[in-house]
Amino acid sequence: MKSIYEELSPVQTAGRKYVGPIVFVLLILVSALIGTSIGLLLVYSTDLPQVEELEHYRPSSTTDLYDDQGRVIGSFALQRRVVATYDDYPQVLRDALISIEDKDFYRHWGINVWRIAGAAYRDIMSGGRVQGASTLTMQLARNLFLSPDRSFHRKVQETLLAIQIERRFTKQQIFALYANQIFLGHGAYGFEAASEYYFSKPAKQLTLDEAALLAGLPKAPGYYSPITHPERALRRRNLVLNSMLEDGKITAEQATSAKSKPVQLNVQKDPNSLAPYFVEEIRRYLENKYGADQVHEGGLRVYTSLDMDLQKAANQAVLDGLAAYERRHGWKSHLPNAIAMGVPVENYQHPDWDNDPEPNGYTHALVTAVSANSATLKFGPYMATLTASQAAWTKRKIGDILALGDIVYVKVLSLSDPGKAKVSFEQDSGAQGALIAIDNASGEIKAMVGGRDFEDSKFNRATQAMRQVGSSFKPYVYTAAIDQGASPDDTILDESVSFATPSGLYTPHNYDEKFEGNITLRRALMMSRNIPALKLADRIGIKTVIDYARRFGVTSNMPPYLPVALGSAEITLFEQTSAFSVFPNDGVRITPRYITKVTDYEGRVLEEDFPDVRDVLNARTARILTSMLRDVVLHGTAVAAAGMKYPLAGKTGTTNDFTDAWFIGFSPSTTCGVWIGYDEKRPLGAKETGARAALPIWMDFMKAALAGHDPGDFQPPPITPASAVAQKIDTPDTASVTDESH
């Protein structure tokens, strides 16, 4: 019997001869490939982050500031993000995102092998590097742990991390992590923040077309931005809708209806623009206490004292008051010109245009055409025509004061579609204003305006500007006198007088250069007479007067010189306003406060502020001074406010050469201070007193602050006994008085 080998043909024998070596070589190649793969995996996985960190991961989130009604008034963030849960994202958004980004999201195990293979083939054929084909899980891994560079090394790491993520987390958890992390343009991270930014509403309220628009952004947020490239955003949105239709997520009718809609945005206004000076004060405080990282990334919740409605009223009052001042002094502006700055008219963009204009608001506009009696203005998407009547206050022809490319200041009177507006012609010569309002009962700051335009100057004139306060200092003089036994009905001689000082004789004068003779202390304060105030301060001692001002909370430097009694000391508006709140509070000082509570990301209370209350003056003296300051409004220098049907009191202040104009006043519930002046301390102009420049702003604000509220009433001062007959303050030993005139 022949062996099996004897029965094989020569060819068959030769084939059998090479089978062993071929199998051996193949085994070696497979082993090498496996070994190489394992080696590469070890190399690429040695520096991979621990996916377990995701269990405790909390993305950088926005710190929000709330007013006293829980409304957002500002925020701090490196990344605008609102962390949401899976259920916070509506089904329509989840369907849209999965259809366009990762159709097999709920079925794959972190990677899609066929998509990766297809992408790799295309990259090899085109000579490119490995890119594309990332699942949502892979994108999440890249955004959280890896660099954005496109390389084979990063792709392998991305794949390994995606597999680990899928092993440890549910699909719902992965989706939520991705939806909170992804960048969607214009500083918005995550779909909740993007929904609030682009549409001013939470993601739960998104419509189909809106959800599709957002779902199209992860691919290239800048390229498909609906703000800067609406036509690209529209095409991308419709592509998402087509993908949803193919996946059976929507019907053909729904797709057609959604695609027929234009891109309609309702871009969220910058909340910091309402009270920027107040928000900046909060930022400095928080960063000093908690550190910049915690403030800008920690998602704090800061509950403040501000009242959004009162802040709006304060903004309007200051801007309107400055506009009235500017018009009183005629046209004098030297306008900046876009063309002179090397910017073509068609390319010019002003920072004011970043925020949507509002009726009664003020903005800068660009002159795009001009004739002798009219000009065409552009601001943002709006156009307006300036006529001769609107510029009549300048007493000049439009063609003489405006040129093509000029940047002018206007008040927006009305807005209409499409892109039309009515404006009034205004001027910004550099005059500044500040206002601060404080709730008497709590010490809470309800409104703060630190200047005309925060973007132009971040210097806070309400808290940082040291300015001479003029006659608004006099109440401290009269407080000291009353507290030491004087009566409002005591008389004092208003006459020419000189005071001996270390530098020689000091001969003051009254504002009107006249003297009234014997007058009561009440009238002296009511009419803001200088000589009586100086005589009182000299009799009591200027150091005693300064001590009383310190009790009221004034901490600024006040040298012990007699002119301080007339307000030569430099004090902030914040200090003056806070100090005046002692009068309606029956002598109680409540330290002003910005913040009521701060909580962390988890809702734990980090701090809670309560009123700091101190008695600084007896109630009798406080009530007497309140009644005297009430007469300032009813019959004195602030009589313009007498027509307001509320119990009001206060004091005007005007400095030498009219460089500063003040009014500090109060109702039973609210104390408000207003200042007007130039930063460089130059004159406002002849007769620009506190009553003329500052008081109208105060009145406008207080009308809004008190409207619809029970104003209450001041506590009456004690009745002076019948035996207490008015006495003369002047006595033969009055110090340092001479008979010299002027």
**Residues annotated catalytic, as ranges:** 101, 471
CA distance readout (Å), 59 to 78, 220, 282, 607, 613: 11, 21, 23, 23, 40
CA atoms of 448 and 430, how far apart (whole Å) = 19
Match 């430097």 to its residue by tokens: 557
Crossing angle (nearest 10°) for helices 252-259 and 230-246: 180
- CA–centroid distance for 531 within its chain: 45
* Count of CB atoms situated within 10 Å of the CB of 543: 11
CA atoms of 582 and 569, how far apart (whole Å) = 20
CA atoms of 613 and 616, how far apart (whole Å) = 10
- The token duo for 620 is 């009798």
Output the 3-class SS for 131-170.
CCCCCHHHHHHHHHHCCCCCCHHHHHHHHHHHHHHHHHCC
Residue from 430, 361, 427, 338 nearest 390 by CA: 427
Sort strands 63-66 and 301-304 into parallel, antiparallel or unpaired.
parallel
CA distance readout (Å), 311 to 75, 279, 676, 703: 16, 12, 18, 13
Decide if 168 contacts 147 (C-beta within 8 A).
no
List own/partner pairs for 612-618 with CB under 8 A and 24 or more apart: 612/443, 613/588, 613/589, 614/588, 614/589, 615/587, 615/588, 615/589, 616/551, 616/552, 616/553, 616/582, 616/587, 616/588, 616/589, 617/479, 617/483, 617/551, 617/552, 617/582, 617/587, 618/483, 618/587
Decide if 88 contacts 203 (C-beta within 8 A).
yes
CA distance readout (Å), 129 to 119, 123, 136, 218: 10, 6, 20, 21
What are the two backbone dihedrals, phi and then psi, of residue 119, each rounded to the nearest 5 degrees? -65, -40
Match 């001009």 to its residue by tokens: 370
| DSSP class per residue in 381-406 | TEEEEEETGGGGGGTS-HHHH--TTB
Decide if 239 contacts 215 (C-beta within 8 A).
no
- The token duo for 74 is 């500002």
CA atoms of 592 and 455, how far apart (whole Å) = 26
Decide if 542 contacts 564 (C-beta within 8 A).
yes
Output the 3-class SS for 644-669.
CCCCCEEEEEECHHHCEEEEEEECCC
- CA–centroid distance for 652 within its chain: 30
Residue from 255, 169, 700 nearest 449 by CA: 700
Residue 189: CB partners within 8 Å, gap ≥ 6? 59, 60, 79, 80, 81, 180, 181, 182, 183
Dihedral angle, C-alpha 398, 400, 406, 407, nearest 10 °: -50
Decide if 409 contacts 336 (C-beta within 8 A).
no
